[in-house]
Chain A
Amino acid sequence: MEFLTASNIIFVILSVTILFFGVMMVTETKILRSATYLFFVLFGVAGLYLQMNYEFLAAVQLSVYAGGIVVLFIFAILLIKNLGEEKEKNSKQKSIMGAIAAFSGLALCLITIFKYKFVTADFSRATEITSNLNMQQIGNTLMGTEKYQYLLPFEASSILLLACIIGGLVVAQINKEDRK
């Protein structure tokens, strides 16, 4: 099989984008820029989802992450005085510790990944099935109570979100005493 297919090239571009901006994000000292790089990472991940034919997930990724969470981060950064311009000073010792943890973990995981032989499914069949993956199927899976259907976690997460709205409000509100 030819290696230089369009999808492969796109995958390489996406993964390079993800990793490059990921590294930029964790090394950037200005936090507002850091948030911007995160935005690109999330875009890249959404692209990977699209590549795997999960359009709905990509849409969720973009709307919730890129549209919601990153905006939240940026607002938080702007709310906190001077944080946008301030440079973060990271100690050398901590960088070394982080590098040790990251590289040793990376080595372990990569060794494991390449040693293990994954039995991948038949792709001809897979494309056939996934081409049928539409919103209706996802909706049924989320709302059903049968096996492989997820009504209960769905409801639980809705309650979680509600609790989180209330919790966020309660935690962030200014006490009357503080205001005085």
Chain B
Amino acid sequence: MEALISSIQPFAPYVLLLPFLMFIFLGLTSFRISGKTAGIIGTAGFSIVAIICYYIAIQYFFNGGEVDGVYQPITLFNLEWLRISDTLVISIGFYLDPISAMMLIVISTVSLMVHIYSFGYMFEHGHYDEGMQRYYAVLSLFSFAMLGLVLGTNIFQTYIFWELVGVSSFLLIGYYYTKPAAVSACKKAFIVTRFADMFFLIGILILSYYTQTFDFNTLNADNAALVHEKMSDIMLCGLPLTSVAMFLIFLGGAGKSAMFPFHIWLPDAMEGPTPSSALIHAATMVVAGVYLVARLFPIYSFEAPNVLDTIAYIGAFTALFSAVIACAQTDIKRVLAFSTISQIAYMMVALGVARIGEGEASLGYTASMWHLFTHAMFKAMLFLCCGCIIHCVESNEMSKMGGLWKYMKLTCICFAIGCLAIAGIPPFSGFFSKGEILSACFENGYTAIYICMTFVAGLTAFYMFRLFYHIFFYEDPDYGQHKPHDQDWKMSLPLIVFAVYTCICGFFKFGDLVTADLSAIEIHTNWTVEGISLTVAAIGIAIATVFYYKKNNIPATIMSKCSGFCHAASRRFYIDEVWYYITRSIIFKIICNAIAWFDRHIIDGFMNLLGWITNEVSDDTKDVQDGNVQSYAWIFIMGVIIITALTLYL
């Protein structure tokens, strides 16, 4: 154990320090250096970080993190930042346990690949994009924030970095700030996630007020004994206070992870550059909510199991809901966005059905983390494939694509691997992780959720292959002079790396590494469950093949039969409109108008009064400043006389 700590401690600070310095450097010098230089510096800097991350994670998992079959959480350093009271301290530190080590791998891999990929993506029409320095600076900021979030030793550090990832997400969504859609999308994302974070903060405050600590180690220790001792007797409006606090914290996570009803920002966030979508809105930031629940899992499991049930049901509903919407979208990135929501909901469901305990109880936890890992890899790959396609076709619309198989073989193969993985076809990684989630639902007795999730698995297969066929087969439009083609190595290498991950990481023994109680569990494959899900996925793929492999009118016929439903699905079931109604008609009209009145008449009135007084006073005294040297001299001399008299004779 000591050997492990001493071997990784010297490198640990650089994981946070390097991306931050990179951000400062690129941000400050952005007017001095070219976009290419900025990209090279950013990528080189982050590759060092990635190497350190891999080193730390591998050392932790395979070289001493495990003592007597239990992975020990390690705090590598913990610097005190703000001391609120004797016991309540906000510190910035480095907390290493199986899930944060796993997240280190995910973040560093995806981020490094996106750094490399962006090089190609930002190179268009023979020159680099103008804002490339800004882009790389914000990428560094995001990497810094995300690493800080997962490595947080205490809930407040996580919260601070949580907001920072929100900011960098905002900046990257609004990267093309001349496009009105991007501007409104970034505002929407920021406001919605901020709104959810408000609940998160309230939850933190309740939790820390009673337990007098922010520290994860203290909170989670001995099966959340501290929380049990301090909070279990307190009720709030007939609900146990712990449940309320933990639900509020989950709401913050729901905002970032786009759970219903906070999912509305994620599809619009696709206005950002595609590589950043791959990094932020598919692989890392959006799973922060899942990570948060997993981080506080002992408290959820022992003190608020009812909240976990709620999470499971919300997750199941979100998964179904967004899968249905995904079937009706025509923008390829929007389809992927809804599929992301759906897959994150899978992870939430898995956490929701899991408990810390004997037997299969904690299977969901492992399955959730496993799915997080595999999903990050294949979803990032799918996004990057989309990026290649958009780069060639210069449109996001399915109708502009088709028949790309002939032109983009590599992209097509990678995309197919991603689709098979997300649909849950062996031997790709999605099959294993998703299968475990379904088994966890089934074996913990959540039959309704199990059925729902199995159905969603079928839908997933359907819409992913609908997307796949639409892009690569379906019809063969005329692409004119510029035939689409596979991209150069900068954009292909990440695809290949992710494809390799997707092919092999299903065979990792995840149960040995990442578990709820930190000791290894045995993962059995429940063949009934797997068989059913495989069948459902196959049916989904088959339907998609029939509908979309070649252009035909079957989809149109079916859509005309239930046009109302399809229309509703393509308009995302009017949830955005509901939110608009709530914000515009209720919040703006009733609350904000009152506040605006108060602001306009009381606050502004007071300010106007101050201004009026200043005006009057200066009007009365401005004659002193008459520009006449002699009156200045008179005032000066009188002043000297008075001051002298006062100092001498008083």
Nearest chain B CB to A97 CB, angstrom units: 5
Contact call B644/A97, Cβ cutoff below 8 A: no
Size of interface on B: residues with Cβ below 8 Å to A:
10
Set B631, B638, B648: member contacting A112, Cβ < 8 A: B648
Chain A interface residue count: which class?
Answer: under 10
Write out the residue numbers on chain B whose beta carbons fall within 8 Å of the beta carbon of A92: none
Contact call B641/A101, Cβ cutoff below 8 A: yes
Contact call A104/B630, Cβ cutoff below 8 A: no
Encoded as 1 (CB less than 8 Å from any A CB) or 0, chain B from 621 to 650 comes to 000000000110010011011001100100
- For residue A139, CB closer than 8 A to chain B, the reply is no
Write out the residue numbers on chain A whose beta carbons fall within 8 Å of the beta carbon of B641: 101, 104-105, 108
Write out the residue numbers on chain B whose beta carbons fall within 8 Å of the beta carbon of A153: none
Write out the residue numbers on chain A whose beta carbons fall within 8 Å of the beta carbon of B645: 108
Inter-chain CA distance A112–B644, complex, in Å, is 10
Chain A facing B: main interface SS: helix
Nearest chain B CB to A151 CB, angstrom units: 34
Contact call B638/A101, Cβ cutoff below 8 A: yes
Write out the residue numbers on chain A whose beta carbons fall within 8 Å of the beta carbon of B648: 108, 112
Write out the residue numbers on chain A whose beta carbons fall within 8 Å of the beta carbon of B640: 105
- For residue A89, CB closer than 8 A to chain B, the reply is no
Inter-chain CA distance A108–B648, complex, in Å, is 10
Contact call B637/A101, Cβ cutoff below 8 A: yes
Write out the residue numbers on chain A whose beta carbons fall within 8 Å of the beta carbon of B638: 100-101, 104
Encoded as 1 (CB less than 8 Å from any B CB) or 0, chain A from 89 to 116 comes to 0000010011011001100100010000
Nearest chain A CB to B372 CB, angstrom units: 79
Take A101-B638, A104-B638 as given contacts and tell me if A94 and B630 are in contact as well, using a CB distance cutoff of 8 Å.
yes
Contact call A98/B634, Cβ cutoff below 8 A: yes
Write out the residue numbers on chain A whose beta carbons fall within 8 Å of the beta carbon of B630: 94
Nearest chain B CB to A109 CB, angstrom units: 9
Encoded as 1 (CB less than 8 Å from any A CB) or 0, chain B from 161 to 202 comes to 000000000000000000000000000000000000000000
Nearest chain B CB to A6 CB, angstrom units: 37
Write out the residue numbers on chain B whose beta carbons fall within 8 Å of the beta carbon of A98: 634
Write out the residue numbers on chain B whose beta carbons fall within 8 Å of the beta carbon of A94: 630
Contact call B644/A101, Cβ cutoff below 8 A: no
Nearest chain B CB to A58 CB, angstrom units: 30
Inter-chain CA distance A150–B504, complex, in Å, is 91
Nearest chain A CB to B641 CB, angstrom units: 5
Inter-chain CA distance A94–B644, complex, in Å, is 23
Nearest chain A CB to B420 CB, angstrom units: 86
Inter-chain CA distance A98–B630, complex, in Å, is 9
Inter-chain CA distance A105–B648, complex, in Å, is 13
Write out the residue numbers on chain B whose beta carbons fall within 8 Å of the beta carbon of A104: 638, 641
Residue on A with the closest CB to B628? A94
Inter-chain CA distance A97–B634, complex, in Å, is 7
* A window 19-54: CB within 8 A of B: none
Nearest chain A CB to B647 CB, angstrom units: 11
Residue on B with the closest CB to A101? B637
Nearest chain A CB to B516 CB, angstrom units: 85
Inter-chain CA distance A97–B635, complex, in Å, is 10
* B window 517-571: CB within 8 A of A: none
19 A-B residue pairs with CB within 8 Å: A94-B630, A97-B631, A97-B634, A98-B634, A100-B638, A101-B634, A101-B637, A101-B638, A101-B641, A104-B638, A104-B641, A105-B637, A105-B640, A105-B641, A108-B641, A108-B644, A108-B645, A108-B648, A112-B648
Residues of A whose CB lies within 8 Å of any CB of B are: 94, 97-98, 100-101, 104-105, 108, 112
Known: A94-B630, A105-B637, A108-B644. 16 other contacts (CB 8 A): A97-B631, A97-B634, A98-B634, A100-B638, A101-B634, A101-B637, A101-B638, A101-B641, A104-B638, A104-B641, A105-B640, A105-B641, A108-B641, A108-B645, A108-B648, A112-B648
Give me the 4 closest cross-chain CB pairs, A-B, nearest first.
A101-B637, A105-B641, A97-B634, A104-B641
